[in-house]
């Protein structure tokens, strides 16, 4: 048996592919466009593994996707492919519209054509799992209940609006054409192989390099933090037993303000990699101008996933963040390869700090 994974060289998709090949004996066809955040170094350990078939390509290329489906005949497609950084969507929303909306449409159409041609028993077993975000629900106040699957969509950034549109397309292809779909909406992921434009890897790497640790606004924006390998296990469980047409929220039950997250990272680095001069990493914290339309709080109610499919995260934030920091300390070659000059220019522009 075979599955097709789109976006499988990115952060979450790459972790999913690595974990899948440990957990299952099925082949993975991995389709990735290799934009700035797609990194084949993440998959270096799979070189020579005949159960991993990498294809450089775009989900928006309907002919390519159709050819791959016809050739490999997967029993499932898991769609991670997306432009996913809010800050980049503010500066350049066009790429987000093209990949997250138009790309998802073309992928759905290629998959629908393939699914329509399957034998009846194969059609019954086939699944299309779409990986999305809690940001489609908008923002919460401090006292609001966490997002559940019945919350209405209120996206506030070009990124979240484009993901909301893709979610609606997936839902429509199920209700209109009968395509057997599943959707997951996850909270903020962190862990190994995370591209260092996002908060946690940026703070770890800047701290170790003696650079500023930029914090938007007052740093009190609250996020629910989900260790990436917990997310991968949740996706496997939804793929295995999720009810067709349903949405499942995936959260870590770890709400933390950004400033607390940064102080936690600094304290662990003080312990694991103390500075030679005896100073603390938290001395490098710098507050910068808040980004436009910055959502104040995200929180996920993942009780449906626990109630119906028996899933809960294995990691607390305290255990997951230690594993994450240790991974970055132990994998400096990966870090050096991913932090190109273009990346440094982007971070300097976005946070208005010298790098």
Among left, alpha and beta (phi > 0; psi -120 to 50; other), residue 219 is left
Catalytic residue at 63?
no
Catalytic-labelled residue, pool 114, 137, 159, 216:
159
Measured in Å, how far apart are the chain's first and last C-alpha atoms? 47
Catalytic-labelled residue, pool 32, 58, 87, 135:
135
Three-state DSSP class for residue 278 = coil
Three-state DSSP class for residue 250 = strand
* Whether the Cβ atoms of residue 79 and residue 58 lie closer than 8 Å to each other: no
User: Which among 139, 160, 132, 152 has a CA at the least distance from the CA of 299?
Assistant: 139
Q: Which two tokens stand for residue 125?
A: 């077993």
- With tokens 């003696």, the residue in question is 210
User: 70-74: which pairs have CB atoms within 8 A and are 24 or more residues apart?
Assistant: 70/114, 72/2, 72/4, 72/27, 72/29, 73/2, 74/1, 74/2, 74/3, 74/4, 74/29
Catalytic residue at 135?
yes
* Whether the Cβ atoms of residue 177 and residue 183 lie closer than 8 Å to each other: no
Which element (helix H / strand E) includes 22? helix 11-23
Q: What are phi and psi of 260, to 5 degrees?
A: -65, -40
Q: Distance between CA 69 and CA 3 in Å, rounded?
A: 10
Q: Distance between CA 174 and CA 325 in Å, rounded?
A: 41
Catalytic residue at 159?
yes
- With tokens 């002919």, the residue in question is 63
Q: Distance between CA 283 and CA 180 in Å, rounded?
A: 52
Catalytic-labelled residue, pool 32, 58, 87, 134:
134
* Whether the Cβ atoms of residue 217 and residue 287 lie closer than 8 Å to each other: yes
Hey, which residues are catalytic here?
134-135, 159
């Amino acid at each position: 048996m075979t599955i097709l994974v789109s976006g499988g060289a990115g952060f979450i998709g790459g972790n999913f592919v690595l974990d899948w090949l440990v957990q299952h004996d099925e082949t993975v066809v991995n389709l990735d466009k290799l934009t700035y955040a797609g990194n084949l170094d993440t998959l270096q350990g799979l070189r020579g593994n005949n159960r991993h078939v990498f294809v450089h390509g775009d989900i928006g290329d309907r002919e390519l996707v159709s050819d791959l489906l016809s050739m490999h005949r997967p029993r499932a497609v898991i769609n991670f492919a997306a432009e996913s950084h809010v800050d980049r969507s503010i500066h350049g929303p066009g790429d987000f519209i093209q990949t997250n909306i138009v790309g998802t449409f073309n992928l759905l159409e290629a998959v629908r054509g393939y699914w329509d041609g399957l034998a009846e028993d194969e059609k019954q077993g086939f699944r299309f799992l779409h990986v999305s975000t809690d940001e489609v629900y908008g923002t919460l106040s401090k006292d609001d209940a966490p997002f559940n699957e019945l919350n209405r969509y209120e996206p506030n950034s070009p990124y979240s609006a484009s993901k909301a549109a893709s979610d609606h397309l997936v839902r429509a292809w199920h209700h209109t054409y009968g395509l057997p779909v599943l959707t997951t909406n996850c909270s903020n992921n962190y862990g190994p192989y995370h591209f260092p434009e996002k908060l946690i890897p940026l703070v770890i790497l800047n701290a170790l390099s003696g650079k500023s640790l930029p914090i938007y606004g007052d740093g009190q924006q609250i996020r629910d933090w989900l260790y990436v390998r917990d997310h991968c296990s949740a996706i496997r469980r939804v793929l295995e037993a999720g009810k067709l047409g349903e949405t499942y929220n995936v959260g870590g039950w770890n709400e933390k303000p950004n400033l607390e997250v940064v102080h936690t990272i600094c304290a662990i680095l003080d312990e694991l990699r103390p500075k030679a001069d005896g100073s603390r990493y938290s001395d490098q914290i710098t507050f910068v101008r808040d980004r436009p339309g910055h959502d104040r709080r995200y929180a996920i109610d993942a009780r449906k996933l626990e109630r119906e499919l028996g899933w809960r995260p294995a990691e607390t934030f305290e255990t997951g963040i230690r594993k994450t920091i240790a991974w970055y300390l132990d994998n400096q070659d990966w870090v050096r390869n991913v932090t190109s000059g273009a990346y440094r220019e982007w971070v300097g522009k976005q946070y208005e700090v010298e790098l």
